[in-house]
């Protein structure tokens, strides 16, 4: 997490963070307001806010979208010392709540970037209406692009005030290439969401053995984790079933559906599960394993689309398949 203290130790110092020595943050107060709708954005934001709290900042959080729904269902547990507000409404109602949340005077606004429509809408609303200078937190490569494009359309004058924070130099280069006219600042801060992986890796074999025993996975069985996406989860499952039939592997499957998976795809997945071999699917209960990433030490292969689970799998050295779905004519033309 090298550089993550940028959020808490330097924002209110006179020397600032850029060459001019001033990012325009207030020089008083230690009050941070954070907005996250997508679960990936919250996963990236939570350790940052934990560090902020340890540094003596007062932390207010607004959760919406998938994050709010998972908070309601007991699958997300913020620090009890955070002042958390959840917005379960969609559309215009949720945007009004975001506006009200970022309006009071505070030191800094931390916004989770998002590629989903509801997440980008909320992030842009938070940036455009914040009474403080906004910091945009990108959880994975390219995620901030959609949010910043929305900001440029809605409140171009505010875009120059945005400090976009990224995990590494590759992310910074990618963002600057995608948005060459972005008038704000891009700062490499590190990514504390990956710290737990670094701590886990030395003990990975032990965790693998323990977790596979809990799940009832034999040594000669291949365990495949499918981290579902809003579209294409049924297609991933169909491809996997075909591969199993051809190769005759001893395969077990953990399937986690995405909260926004369409009903017709859920029906297709249910049908595929019903016709699969007995015992194929592992009952990894969400109540016991609330995060998909917590299952990674046990698995042999990860299948997903544009999921943060892929990145954690890469860090653990787990082979994976990234399924991007069918290429549309628009994307094929670049």
Can you tell me the distance from the alpha carbon of 205 to that of 179, in angstroms, rounded to the nearest whole number?
A: 42
Model confidence, pTM: 0.76
Distance of CA 228 to the CA centre of its chain: 14
Which contiguous run of DSSP H or E holds residue 60? strand 58-64
Cα dihedral 24, 26, 27, 32 sign: negative
Whether 192 shows a pLDDT value over 90: the answer reads no
The two tokens of residue 28 are 């008083």
Mean pLDDT over all residues of the chain?
A: 82
Q: Which residue has the higher pLDDT, 34 or 239?
A: 34
* Helices vs. strands in the chain: H and E counts, helices first: 14, 11
Percentage of residues in the chain with pLDDT exceeding 70? 86
Q: In what order do the strands lie in the sheet with 108-112?
A: 83-87, 58-64, 31-36, 108-112, 134-137, 163-166, 185-188
DSSP 197-231: HHHHGGGHHHHHHHHHHHHT--TTPEEEEEE--SS
Please say if the pLDDT value at position 10 is more than 70.
no
Quick one: three-class SS letters along 258-315? CCCCCHHHHHHHHHHHHHCCCCCECCCCCCCCCCHHHHHHHCCEEEECCCHHHHHHHH
96 and 66 Cβ atoms separated by less than 8 Å: no
Write down the pLDDT at residue 15: 42
pLDDT-derived band of residue 22, with 50, 70 and 90 as boundaries? very low
Compare 206 and 189 and report the one with higher pLDDT.
206
Q: What is the pLDDT of residue 29?
A: 62
**What are the distances in angstroms from CA 272 to CA 244, 267, 311, 324?**
13, 9, 27, 20
pLDDT (average), residues 224-243: 84
Closest to 163 measured CA to CA, from 203, 214, 109: 109
Q: Which residue has the tokens 């009474």?
A: 131
Write the pLDDT tens digit of every residue in 63-108: 998 899 889 988 888 999 999 999 988 778 888 999 999 999 988 8
List, edge to edge, every strand of the sheet that includes 222-227. Answer: 251-256, 222-227, 301-304, 320-322
């Amino acid at each position: 997490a090298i550089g993550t203290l940028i959020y808490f130790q330097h924002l209110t110092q006179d020397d600032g963070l850029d060459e001019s020595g001033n990012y325009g943050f207030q020089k008083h107060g230690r009050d941070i307001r954070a907005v996250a709708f997508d679960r990936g954005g919250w996963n990236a934001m939570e350790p940052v806010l934990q560090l902020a709290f340890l540094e003596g900042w007062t932390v207010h959080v607004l959760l919406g979208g998938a994050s709010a729904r998972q908070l309601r269902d007991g699958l997300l547990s913020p620090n009890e010392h955070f002042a958390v507000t959840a917005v379960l409404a969609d559309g215009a109602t949720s945007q009004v709540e975001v506006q009200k949340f970022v309006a009071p005077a505070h030191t800094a606004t931390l916004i989770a970037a998002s590629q989903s429509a509801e997440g980008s809408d909320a992030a842009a609303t938070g940036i455009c209406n914040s009474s403080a200078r906004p910091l945009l937190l990108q959880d994975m490569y390219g995620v901030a692009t959609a949010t910043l494009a929305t900001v440029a359309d809605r409140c171009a004058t505010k875009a120059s005030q945005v400090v976009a924070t990224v995990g590494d130099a590759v992310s910074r280069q990618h963002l600057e290439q995608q948005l060459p006219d972005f008038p704000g600042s891009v700062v490499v801060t590190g990514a504390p969401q990956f710290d737990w992986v670094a701590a886990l890796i030395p003990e990975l074999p032990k965790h693998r053995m323990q977790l596979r025993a809990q799940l009832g996975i034999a040594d000669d069985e291949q365990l495949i984790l499918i981290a579902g996406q809003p579209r294409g989860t049924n297609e991933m499952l169909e491809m996997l079933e075909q591969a199993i039939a051809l190769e005759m592997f001893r395969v077990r499957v953990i399937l986690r559906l995405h909260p926004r998976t369409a009903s017709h795809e859920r029906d297709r997945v249910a049908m595929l599960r019903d016709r699969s071999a007995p015992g194929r699917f592992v009952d990894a209960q969400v109540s016991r394993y609330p995060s998909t990433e917590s299952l990674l030490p046990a698995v042999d292969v990860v299948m997903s689309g544009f999921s943060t689970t892929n990145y954690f799998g890469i860090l653990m050295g787990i082979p994976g398949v990234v399924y991007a779905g069918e290429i549309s004519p628009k994307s094929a033309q670049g």
